Amino acid sequence: MIGKERFEGYSLAGFRKDLVSGLVVGIIAIPLGMAFAIASGVKPEYGIYTTVVAGILISLFGGSKFQIGGPTGAFIPVLLAIVMQYGYEDLLIAGFLAGILLVLMGVLRLGVLIRYIPRPVTVGFTAGIAVIIFSGQIAGFLGLSGIRKHEEFVLNMREIVLHIGSINVYSVITAGISLAVLLLASRFLPKAPGALLGLVISSAVAALFFKGQVATIGSSFGAIPSGLPPLHIPELTWERVAAMLQPAFIIAVLGGIESLLSAVVADNMSGSRHNSNRELIGQGIANMAAPLFGGIPATGAIARTAANIKNGAVSPLSGIIHGFVVLLVLLLFAPYASHIPLAGMAPVLMLVAWNMSERKEFMHILKTKTSDSLVLVVTFLLTVFTNLTIAVEAGLMMAVLLFVKRMSDLLNIAKVLPDPNSKHAKVRAHMVFEGHDCPQIGIYTIEGPLFFGAVGRFEKSLLADPLRPKPNILLLRMSRVPFMDTTGAYQLSGLVKRYRKQGGLVLFAGIQPQPLDMLRKTGLFEQIGADRFFEHTGEAINYALERLNPAKCRGCKHFVFRECAALSEGKGAQPAAVVAGNS
């Protein structure tokens, strides 16, 4: 479970690198953990507890060598909504249930399925979450008072407008200092923990010059305890579990997506390869354990994982060290955290939102002006103006429907006839025109998947031929049909029955393995008869020519096959020797 192969060849030099990286990432994680917790509607220490417990367990049991886990910005809108609707205690239950679901997803090897979520959907809801996080910090940045938090974006913006007159100049100055430090640190000291520097400097300024004028963690939430809380098992009842199943599912899916995206980023940066299913199991174990210590849901943190790799980490030990560093800081310096101004934390989350917004990818997809652009915009707007559940469900549904539409458009059915001017008399669509079409044999080339989304086009093309009445013999060339589902097979079955009822015949040429296997599974292959399937078109044409009605050929002037002249005069022909080259 732990994955000993991730520590193969481990050395003292590797330990030193992990120690340095774990120390740096641990310092980075402290202010972020508190900020994410506050933005999620809970006390800041709960974010610290999550960073310690979940951070250690994700590195210990996860499927990535470099993954750093903890509270993240992606969870903020979801967790805030749960806290406001159900309360903190029920949030712990939802987190615990989400952990169970993540473990089950890993055990059932569903990690690969999460990768199939379309990119426009993930970019759309990520950008929407970024907007919610950024806008949620405006009140803290300005130091507005009397603000009530709501689940709806519009109502929160209305609160800001209604209370804009309560701007606290001292809060604005404090937030401005924190923001300036963050921006300067990212440019001139890229390896320094900018968030921590911003909080330390803004806290010092506020304490020295604006004491009592700016809201702090202590004045808003009370003092942060020094150490982890005692083990506490949430009170589980069937009613509470049932009520938390949907929120837990949302947390599990979002956590799975975020953790696997982070693991992929780590793979690209390090050249390693993560185990998706093991990662989900590790995330699940961590999310089951964190609520027992008051922690909120956690997942893989892309920015902290990237920082871990950039600082030289070589194994999961760096993530474990990062968790113990945070615990050590909690034990030694917790009382000082109470003096951190909330205005100083607002720019930290604003910068997190800006960095996670994927604005370049958003604009790139938007500029393509395709159906993906529509999925992106709808997912984004629904995330901002409704909630993440509706947004993801609608985005996925739209993506599926548009994909089905695109795939159905790929189905192309063309009526063809042999071209006497081509080598081996290859069949061509341009040979079919008014006055040049066989009344008895209809040859069609089918290209594209034959599935439930394309049956309408299939039926319309074959049963509504405007050139001639239905021929008695139908030859379907299916060498370019890569896939067929049961709906496609059912459509073929109906076609075969209809032709048989009128005394006709349906032949197949060049059918690929998957469609052929589907016909066998549905029993249609036996119903049609093995002698009606041919490897080459020429063989099928020969078979059809031998079964023409000679009376209908007499006097026919279409002459679509080389033997038609003889058949028209009632002399008969030897079709097998003439068209064997057709393919």
Average pLDDT over residues 297-321: 93
Spatial separation of the C-alpha atoms in residues 482 and 485, rounded to whole Å: 11
Q: Is 149 helix (H, G, I), strand (E, B) or coil?
A: coil
How much is the pLDDT for 408?
A: 87
* Averaged pLDDT score across all residues of the chain: 89
**pLDDT at residue 3, rounded to an integer:** 57
Q: Is the pLDDT of residue 558 over 90?
A: no
Helix residue spans in 474-573 (DSSP H): 486-501, 513-521, 524-528, 537-545, 550-553, 564-568
Report the pLDDT value the prediction gives residue 536, as an integer from 0 to 100.
Answer: 92
CA distance 74 to 166: 30
- As a whole-number percent, the residues of the chain with pLDDT over 70 amount to 95
| 230: exposed, middle or buried (Cβ count in 10 Å: 0-12, 13-18, 19+) | exposed
CB-based contacts of 225, cutoff 8 Å, min separation 6: 45, 334
The structure tokens listed for 141 are 């940045």
**Cβ within 8 Å of residue 336, ≥6 positions away:** none
Predicted confidence at residue 5, as pLDDT, reads: 63
Quickly tell me which residue has 């920015």 as its tokens. 303
Q: What is the mean pLDDT of residues 49-63?
A: 96
Contact 295, 49 (CB under 8 A): yes
Binning pLDDT at 50, 70 and 90, where does residue 465 land?
low
End-to-end Cα, the chain, rounded Å: 55
- Comparing 463 with 457, the larger pLDDT belongs to 457
40-49, 274-283, 451-460: least confident range = 451-460
Which single residue is written with the structure tokens 């390090």?
270
* Residue 578 pLDDT greater than 60, yes or no: no
Give the pLDDT mean for 549-572. 81
| Greatest distance between any 2 Cα atoms in the chain | 112
pLDDT tens digits for 204-213?
999 999 988 9
Confidence of residue 389 (pLDDT cuts 50, 70, 90): confident
Question: What's the pLDDT score for residue 4?
Answer: 61
What 8-state DSSP symbol labels residue 435? T
Which pLDDT belongs to residue 308?
A: 93
Q: Residue 579: pLDDT band by 50, 70, 90 thresholds?
A: very low
Sign for the CA dihedral angle at 483, 487, 488, 493 comes to positive
What's the rounded Cα separation, in Å, for the pair 208 and 76?
32
130-139, 440-449, 466-475: least confident range: 466-475
- Identity at 300, one-letter amino acid code: G
pLDDT beyond 70 at 575: no
Domain limits, the chain: 14-358, 412-578
- Structure token digits, residue 507: 């032949």
Order across the sheet with 441-447: list the strands: 412-415, 441-447, 473-480, 505-509, 533-534
Among 263, 301, 293, CA closest to 95: 293
236 pLDDT band (50/70/90 cuts)? confident
Determine the residue type at 512: Q
**Reported confidence tier of residue 421, pLDDT bands at 50, 70, 90:** confident
Fold of 412-578: Transcription Regulator spoIIAA (3.30.750)
pLDDT at 430: 80
Q: How far is CA 348 from CA 48, 65, 177, 238, in A?
A: 16, 27, 11, 39
> Does pLDDT of 6 surpass 70?
no
Provide mean pLDDT across the span 403-424: 85
pLDDT at residue 466 tops 70: no
* Residue 441 host element (H or E): strand 441-447
> For residue 580, is pLDDT > 60?
no
Distance, CA of 256 to CA of 106 (rounded, Å): 10
Res. 90: pLDDT tops 80: yes
| pLDDT, greater one: 111 or 519 | 519
359 backbone dihedrals φ, ψ, rounded to 5°: -60, -35
Reported as a pLDDT band with limits 50, 70 and 90, residue 2 is low
**Confidence at residue 130, expressed as pLDDT on a 0 to 100 scale:** 93
Residue 63 CB partners (closer than 8 Å, separation 6+): 3, 263, 274, 275, 276, 277, 278, 279, 280, 281, 282
489's CB contacts (< 8 A; 6+ apart) are 518, 519, 522, 524
Predicted local confidence at residue 583, as pLDDT: 43
